[in-house]
Chain A
Amino acid sequence: MNALVPPVDHGLLGESAAPHAVISSRRHRAELALRIVGVAGLVGVVLTVWLGLWVTPPDAYMGNLVRLLYIHPSMAWDAFLAYGVSFAASACYLWPRTRDLRFDRLAGASAEAGVVFTAITLVTGSLWGRPTWGTWWVWDPLLTTTALLFVLYLGYLALRKVPGDPEVRAKRTAVGALVAFIDVPIVYFSVTWWKSLHQAPTISPGKSDVHGLMAWTMLLSFVTFSLVYVWFVAHRYRLAGLQAREEAEGLAYALAERRAEGGAKAVEKNEVLT
């Protein structure tokens, strides 16, 4: 990272001398790929909304509510995918041979996206449940587990925000992620057992003649929101890298910033005083 910054920037702290002078082509390609993912995701979202709200017919049993199935399950899937990635990255960090702060950043980035997707999953699920079951919330195993996951990972993100030495923090949060993740099956199992009287509503596939388009729309939504997830994680990961750099050289940055905003007068005064 540091190699990208020119050794001595005598450009008067200014933006004029861009430190982006040395940018490898690999970086360029990654940037391009990310752009493509972003655009594809955006197109996918538009398509999903168009198909979901206008083109697909209402379901024989669920009526228009079936349209929520084009966003809700894919959000839930993304949430679980995100936590899975976060767990894998944490495990990679803890494993001495693959210990690298980049895994720590990936774990954090993915968990943050996971929390966003979980929140959306909970809200959209609730919006589906209200007209379907007549209540905003049921103590269904999947719902309860999702809610607990949400809280668990809010805790994880809070733990990540605690300042400290990056290595120490990485290890601490990786261990925390491990413990949280192991809890998930236990929670799911216990809640299932606890509330076994409530049959989880099965998704009725609808009539066979409309099944095709509906299934395709649903598939599209899964692909689309997975792309969105990738875009989120990539950007969050990059941001984490920037933040790490900022943290590492935080004092220098802060000084430069103050000087820049203080302007000439302050600097001059300083010089007179010293």
Chain B
Amino acid sequence: MTDYAYVEAGYVVALGGLALYGASLVARERAARRRIPAVVPARSDERGVEHEGGAASS
């Protein structure tokens, strides 16, 4: 292998690693946000929401 191959491999690993981690962060954050907006904030009206949900979708 020439020296340049090592250099290229190094850049690929470094930048690829950072890109992968960055992408994973964005994906995880997006997934978390997707789960969170669906929240019913107050637990007390669980029932009410359930009824409404049923009524609306039927």
Q: Do chains A and B touch in the complex (CB under 8 A)?
A: yes
Q: Looking across the interface, which residue of chain A has its beta carbon closest to that of B19?
A: A45
Interface residues of A, count at CB 8 A: 60
Please determine whether B37 and A236 come into contact, CB atoms closer than 8 angstroms: no
Would you call the interface of chain A mostly helix, strand, loop, or mixed? helix
Contact indicator B41/A12 (Cβ below 8 Å) = no
Tell whether A228 is near chain B: CB-to-CB under 8 Å. Answer: yes
Contact check: which of B1, B25, B39, B54 meets A256 at CB < 8 Å? Answer: B39
User: Contact check: which of A49, A128, A246 meets B36 at CB < 8 Å?
Assistant: A246
Determine the chain B residues whose CB is within 8 A of the CB of A5 once the complex forms: 39, 41
- Residue in B closest to A58 when the chains form the complex, CB atoms: B3
- Does A168 sit within 8 A of B, measured CB to CB? no
A-B contact count (CB 8 A): 146
- Size range of the interface on B? 35 or more
Beta-carbon contact of B54 and A268 below 8 Å: yes
A75 to B11, CA, bound (A): 12
Q: Which of B3, B33, B42 contacts A65 (CB 8 A)?
A: B3
Could you tell me the dominant secondary structure of chain B's interface residues? helix
Give the residue of A65, A243, A268 whose beta carbon is less than 8 angstroms from that of B7.
A65
Q: B35 touching A253 by the CB < 8 A rule?
A: yes
How far does the Cβ of B55 sit from chain A's closest Cβ, in whole Å? 9
Asked whether A119 is an interface residue with its Cβ less than 8 Å from the other chain, the reply is yes
Binds B, one of A84-92, A146-154, A203-211, A258-266: A258-266
Interface residues of A (CB under 8 A from B): 2, 5-10, 12-13, 15, 18-19, 45, 49, 52-53, 63-65, 67-68, 71-72, 75, 113, 116, 119-120, 123-124, 127-128, 130-131, 225, 228, 231-232, 235-236, 238-239, 242-243, 245-246, 249, 252-253, 255-257, 259-260, 263-264, 267-268, 270-271
Query: Could you list some 9 contacts between A and B, CB below 8 A?
Result: A9-B41, A53-B7, A67-B11, A120-B17, A239-B25, A246-B32, A260-B38, A267-B50, A268-B58
